[in-house]
Amino acid sequence: MVSIEELISLKGKRSLITGAASGIGRAMAERFAEAGSDLILIDIQDEKLHQVRSELNRYGVKIKIFKVDLSRKPQIDRLWIKIKNNLPDILVNNAGIYPFREFVDIDEKHYQKVMDINLNSVFWMCQNMIKLRGKAGGTIVNVGSIEALLPFKKDLAHYSSSKAGVIALTRALANEHGRKKYKINVLLPGGIITEGTKGAAKLIFKFKKGLLDSALKFKGRISLGRLGEPDEVAKMALVMASDLSSYMSGAIVAVDGGFLSA
Ligand code: NAD
């Protein structure tokens, strides 16, 4: 029987994580480094990426960083050309944005940006991974949101739609590519305290008092009675990336303190 240490270890693997400069992505980078994985970290925030790399150097793994605007397909394609001789075994599509805006005020530009970052980038990243790795297979963890299954907060219809797309994409790819040695699953965080959610909360308090009610109701619905930490999502991502989840495919895994089942 394979030992638990071997099952959870990512030694000898290379993991690409998007949105790794802050929040959940940064926490994933740290847990993956601790598990022994070399890292390719992607974000649009260059300075913060450099900071993350210097903080994680203590784990003794190789860390490459690339500034990429994931809303631009040509930049995604250029990234995969740069890394084509050092392809990742594990791809985590975590980067995402959640700008609150009333449904009737959303224009095409705003809608397009949310779709490009949250859904289209995941599509192109998965396509590059599967095209370039071919028969070698690999592991993909996509990051959706509980809002895709239970749209709860106001002013996020565009966001919820993009994340529902991530779930459908994950399940389609898991089904199509499972026999070619690809293990593909989707993680749904909910109520996690990050730079992103702290920023959103500040905006709600300042400008969108009408959203306070849904924010309070949201918190009241969490079965565990508290918000979550980025590391609590990162730990599950490690399970999904490692051999601990060797027989899991096309699964939707919520890390939400029980919100969805409350
Ligand atoms: P965050 O804002 O703290 O971090 C997101 C990271 O993505 C940032 O470092 C940002 O620079 C990067 N990013 C944004 N746009 C980018 C672009 N165009 N190109 C490259 N990088 C870009 O957010 P978070 O709360 O850690 O969220 C991470 C993921 O989890 C997102 O996909 C989010 O939708 C999802 N999620 C979070 C929560 C939560 O409660 N925090 C809940 C549900 C889903």
> pLDDT per residue over 203-227, tens digit each?
887 777 777 888 888 999 999 999 9
Spatial separation of the C-alpha atoms in residues 148 and 126, rounded to whole Å: 20
Nearest CA to ligand 1 atom 42: 190
CA of 97 to the centre of ligand 1 (A): 5
Q: What are phi and psi of 64, to 5 degrees?
A: -110, 140
Please state the rounded mean pLDDT for residues 21-46. 98
Spatial separation of the C-alpha atoms in residues 91 and 16, rounded to whole Å: 5
Name the burial class of residue 169, with classes exposed (0-12), middle (13-18) and buried (19+) by CB atoms within 10 angstroms of its CB: buried
pLDDT digits (tens, 9 = 90+) for 70-100: 999 999 999 999 999 999 999 999 999 999 9
Q: Give this prediction's pTM.
A: 0.98
Question: Does the CB atom of residue 96 touch ligand 1 within 6 A?
Answer: yes
Spatial separation of the C-alpha atoms in residues 230 and 164, rounded to whole Å: 21
Residue of 125, 192, 256, 260 to mutate, ligand 1, most atoms within 8 A of C-beta: 192
Token pair listed for 74: 């040509």
Quote the pLDDT of residue 206: 78
Spatial separation of the C-alpha atoms in residues 108 and 19, rounded to whole Å: 24
Question: Does the CB atom of residue 69 touch ligand 1 within 6 A?
Answer: yes
CB distance 101 to 158 below 8 Å: yes
Please determine, for residue 202, whether its predicted confidence score (pLDDT) is greater than 90. no
